[in-house]
């Protein structure tokens, strides 16, 4: 009898605990006990996806300054070059022959100048002693001046030929990267022919926007690039620098600056999000949305009770007021009160 009484008392205690638990789970959750958020419409940027290409600010050719045969080519595609760096050498056999001819003429003129100097010195001594008239001294001085001037003229002409030989060095016009070689060693080129093309070092993102979005595009607008476009890197953002006034093939061209864009591949295509105007949207904190079995839910408070409502989520929209803002496409309306789960 004593054991039976003890078991009955334990059963009564368990039943009381179960009643209390059922009462707690069935009771309504008041606003004072939870944190709520009132859904309201906000004006956000209506982003559009367009394609952009990575391009250099300008692509400039490195040209030969003289004609001749390419005897040396020091760069290949992809090499980085600095402004003024020698990237090729053009040789001209005619200039070498002219240089040898001028060297021989300079030696002959130098000998004539030395002889004119000796004659002038000898004549000057004889005139001082009264053996020769002074007119002979004037003649020798003139001959010396003619020899000196002839020597200087040939020396200057040789310097011109030497400079032409030095101009056989093809120099890089700017800092950048070699995109393409246009000739090979042994090619015959004329003065002004391009040898290689060089993309300047600073790269830009060139956008081609359909003209229907052109009225919304202006310098200073921000752009966004998904992280999926960069393997192993986070999403990037940039700023539009210039919007070109000419429309080509129904598209508006604009340049944007993006940090960490890379500087090797030119012409790489990326998907970029730009502002295409403004629209209203329902933005809620992402912490108020839960996902169960692949379906997103929010908890609404209605008539002192809370219910879970399925919603369709949009993209993330961080704002100054909501750092974890998330757009809700359907399932809630403006004025609904959400309860943090």
Supply the pTM of this predicted model.
0.50
Element (H or E) spanning 16, and its range? Answer: helix 2-26
CA-angle at 262, arms to 257 and 266, nearest 5°: 90
pLDDT in tens, 226-242: 755 555 566 678 888 88
Question: Does domain 31-42+281-339 sit in CATH 2.40.420.20?
Answer: yes
What's the mean pLDDT in 264-274? Answer: 77
Q: How many CB atoms lie within 10 A of CB 139?
A: 13
Alpha carbons 131 and 133: distance in angstroms, whole number? 7
Residue-wise pLDDT for 108-133, tens only, equals 999 999 998 998 888 888 888 888 88
**Class of CATH domain 49-58+200-278:** mainly beta
Which range has the top average pLDDT, 131-135, 164-168, 193-197, 333-337? 193-197
What is the distance between the terminal CA atoms of the chain, rounded to a whole angstrom?
50
Q: Measured between alpha carbons, how far is 273 from 267 in angstroms, rounded to an integer?
A: 18
Predicted confidence at residue 13, as pLDDT, reads: 42
For the beta carbon of residue 68, count every other beta carbon within 10 angstroms: 21
Average confidence score pLDDT of the chain: 80
The residue to which tokens 């009462």 are assigned: 23
**What residue ranges in the chain does DSSP mark as E strands?**
36-38, 41-56, 59-63, 68-73, 80-81, 86-91, 169-171, 176-181, 188-189, 194-200, 203-210, 222-225, 236-248, 251-258, 269-285, 289-292, 295-302, 305-316, 325-330, 337-339
Comparing 110-124, 139-153, 263-277, the range with the smallest average pLDDT is 263-277
Fold identical between 49-58+200-278 and 60-197? no
Domain boundaries, the chain: 31-42+281-339, 49-58+200-278, 60-197
* CATH no. of 60-197: 2.40.50.100
Q: What is the pLDDT of residues 29-85, one digit of tens each?
A: 333 345 888 888 888 777 788 888 888 778 889 998 888 888 889 998 888 899 989
């Amino acid at each position: 009898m004593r054991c039976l009484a003890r078991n009955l008392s334990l059963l009564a205690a368990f039943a009381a605990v179960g009643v209390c638990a059922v009462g707690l789970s069935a009771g309504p959750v008041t606003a004072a006990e939870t944190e709520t958020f009132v859904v309201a419409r906000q004006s956000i940027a209506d982003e559009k996806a367009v394609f952009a290409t990575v391009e250099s600010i300008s692509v400039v050719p490195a040209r030969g300054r003289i004609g001749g045969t390419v005897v040396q080519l020091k760069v290949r595609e992809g090499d980085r070059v600095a402004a003024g760096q020698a990237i090729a050498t053009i040789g001209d056999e005619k200039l070498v022959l002219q240089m040898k001819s001028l060297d021989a003429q300079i030696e002959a003129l130098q000998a004539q100048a030395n002889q004119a100097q000796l004659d002038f010195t000898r004549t000057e001594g004889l005139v001082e002693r009264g053996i020769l008239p002074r007119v002979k001294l004037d003649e020798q001085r003139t001959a010396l001046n003619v020899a000196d001037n002839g020597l200087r003229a040939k020396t200057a002409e040789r310097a011109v030929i030497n400079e032409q030989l030095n101009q056989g060095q093809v120099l890089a016009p700017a800092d950048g990267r070699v995109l393409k070689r246009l000739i090979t060693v042994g090619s015959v080129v004329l003065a002004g022919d391009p040898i290689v093309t060089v993309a300047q070092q600073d790269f830009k993102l060139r956008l081609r926007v359909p003209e229907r979005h052109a009225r919304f595009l202006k310098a200073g607008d921000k752009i966004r690039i998904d992280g999926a476009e960069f393997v192993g890197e986070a999403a990037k953002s940039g700023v539009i620098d210039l919007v070109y006034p000419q429309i080509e093939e129904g598209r508006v061209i604009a340049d944007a600056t993006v940090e960490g864009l890379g500087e090797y591949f030119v012409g790489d295509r990326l998907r970029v999000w730009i502002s295409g105007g403004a629209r209203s949207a329902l933005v809620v904190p992402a912490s108020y949305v839960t996902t169960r079995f692949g379906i997103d839910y929010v908890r609404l408070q209605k008539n002192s009770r809370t219910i879970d409502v399925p919603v369709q989520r949009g993209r993330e929209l961080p704002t100054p007021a909501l750092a974890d803002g998330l757009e809700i496409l359907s399932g809630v309306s403006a004025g609904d009160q959400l309860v943090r789960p």
